[in-house]
Amino acid sequence: MDLPSFISALPKAELHVHLEGCLTPGLARTLAARNNLPLPPSLSALDQTGSSYSFHDLTTFLQVYYPNLSVLQTAHDFADLAISYLTTAHAQNVKHCELFFDPQAHTARGVPFPTVVRGYQAGINTAQRALGISASLIMCFLRDHSAEFAMATLMDSLPFKDVIIGVGLDSDERDNPPSKFAAVFQRAAKEGFLITMHCDIDQPDTLTHIGQAINEIQVDRIDHGTNIIDSPELISTLKQRGIGLTACPISNGIVTDDFKGKEIIELLRQGVRVTVNSDDPAYFRGYLNENMLKLASAADLNVTRKELIHLQRNAFTISWISSWKRNHFLQMLDEFERLTLGSEATQVLNGV
Ligand code: ADE
Ligand code: ZN
């Protein structure tokens, strides 16, 4: 089996994908037309030039990303966005997804909180029924807004605790450390939400932020966070507590100067529960298979097929699902390994 076929056939879990980052230009145009709205500026620029979006780091990416969300108005729109992503994920043999969403990016422009959550949940239900894919929602707070706004959003979410499994923190990290939201996450934990948060790549004070996430906020997971490679002490705590990292190679390569494959594989080989994910696939133009392939095909990393399976074992292990479901998926991976690798389990990928 060639490498792309191996990756396609591998049963996978996606733990770091922003639903708003799955808004393709095609779907945005459809929704703009349906809602009688003008195309957001970056989309009409895309149409005029026929080229790709223009951004080079997290801040400039977010400047394109948020204005595009104006086309999302009704529960039907949010449902269509979830169905669109889950259909692609299913086609890539993704078995389970934990989907970030940013309610404040919608409530701040007048869309009611229940419209967002009910729409996304309806889309998930439809995809689950039609495709059998498993999915759940993680609500992210926007860290470049106030802690008060985050707390009010947490309060809005309480009637939807049955459909939101956890909370996260995203958007522009500069000058917005995890500690700014300590009270919000403390309350979220008390309400029974699991906790993750972005520690984006190569941000100022990144090790301080990672330390706060682990020690002050007591996160269950970290999104990105691979700069931890520079702190053996934090790695040791991470491993002790079994905290996983959701890395996103293609995204890294776009918002920084490197895809950080070396760091991801080094952490994997040190026993950290690192995983591979797609972040904002409609913008970074790579879903889960493309992200796995990016890592697997880097000549200098010598990633083995056994390690690719290990990355997915990590993903199911740190996913927020029942132990019954986890065992089911892990058995699926065992079977896949037995069928594909047999005694060749340690073969080196490159040149195969
Ligand atoms: N929102 C959407 N994608 C993000 C990312 N990669 N980092 C921070 N916030 C985000
Ligand atoms: Zn992200």
Q: What pLDDT sits at residue 135? A: 98
Q: What pLDDT sits at residue 42? A: 87
Residue with the smallest CA separation from ligand 1 atom 1 is 171
Whether residue 106 is contained in a domain is answered as yes
Q: What pLDDT sits at residue 344? A: 54
Contacts of 227 (CB under 8 A, 6+ apart): 199, 201, 202, 203, 206, 207, 210, 263
For residue range 264-297, what is the model confidence (pLDDT) as tens digits? Answer: 999 999 999 999 999 999 999 999 999 999 999 9
List, as one string, the DSSP characters of 164-202: EEEEEEES--TT--GGGGHHHHHHHHHTT-EE--EE-TT
- Look up tokens 């779907």; give the residue: 27
CATH number of 305's domain: 3.20.20.140
Residue with the smallest CA separation from ligand 1 atom 6 is 279
Residue with the smallest CA separation from ligand 1 atom 8 is 171
Q: What pLDDT sits at residue 54? A: 80
Q: Which residues lie with the beta carbon below 6 Å from any ligand 1 atom?
A: 18, 21, 58, 170-171, 198, 200, 251, 279-280
Whether residue 349 is contained in a domain is answered as no
Residue 81 has pLDDT above 60, yes or no: yes
Poorest-pLDDT segment among 46-55, 108-117, 118-127: 46-55
Residue type (1 letter), 77: D
Query: Could you tell me the two tokens for 100?
Result: 């970030």
Mean pLDDT to the nearest integer, 325-334: 98
Rounded Cα gap, residues 132 and 90, in angstroms: 9
**Ligand 2 centre from 18 Cα, in Å?**
6
Rounded Cα gap, residues 85 and 81, in angstroms: 6
**Ligand 1 centre from 43 Cα, in Å?**
19
Give the number of domains in the chain: 1
Pocket test for ligand 1, best of 53, 61, 176 (most atoms within 8 A of CB): 61
Q: Is 279 one of the annotated binding-site residues?
A: yes
Whether residue 350 is contained in a domain is answered as no
Contacts of 270 (CB under 8 A, 6+ apart): 235, 239
The helix-helix angle for 288-296 and 261-269 (nearest 10°) equals 80
Q: Is 156 one of the annotated binding-site residues?
A: no
Exposed/middle/buried for 179, CB within 10 Å: 0-12, 13-18, 19+?
middle
Whether residue 198 is contained in a domain is answered as yes
Pocket test for ligand 1, best of 15, 101, 198, 248 (most atoms within 8 A of CB): 198
Poorest-pLDDT segment among 213-217, 242-246, 254-258: 254-258
Backbone phi, then psi, for 45, in 5-degree steps?
-65, -40
Residue 50 has pLDDT above 80, yes or no: no
Q: Average model confidence (pLDDT) for the chain?
A: 95
Q: Is 280 one of the annotated binding-site residues?
A: yes
Whether residue 351 is contained in a domain is answered as no
Q: What pLDDT sits at residue 347? A: 52
Residue 48 has pLDDT above 50, yes or no: yes
CB under 5 Å of ion ligand 2: residues: 279
Q: Is 224 one of the annotated binding-site residues?
A: no
Residue with the smallest CA separation from ligand 1 atom 9 is 171
What is the extent of the structural domain holding 106? 3-344
**Ligand 2 centre from 247 Cα, in Å?**
9
**Ligand 1 centre from 334 Cα, in Å?**
33
Pocket test for ligand 1, best of 170, 175, 251 (most atoms within 8 A of CB): 170
Q: What is the pTM of this model?
A: 0.96
User: 348 pLDDT band (50/70/90 cuts)?
Assistant: low
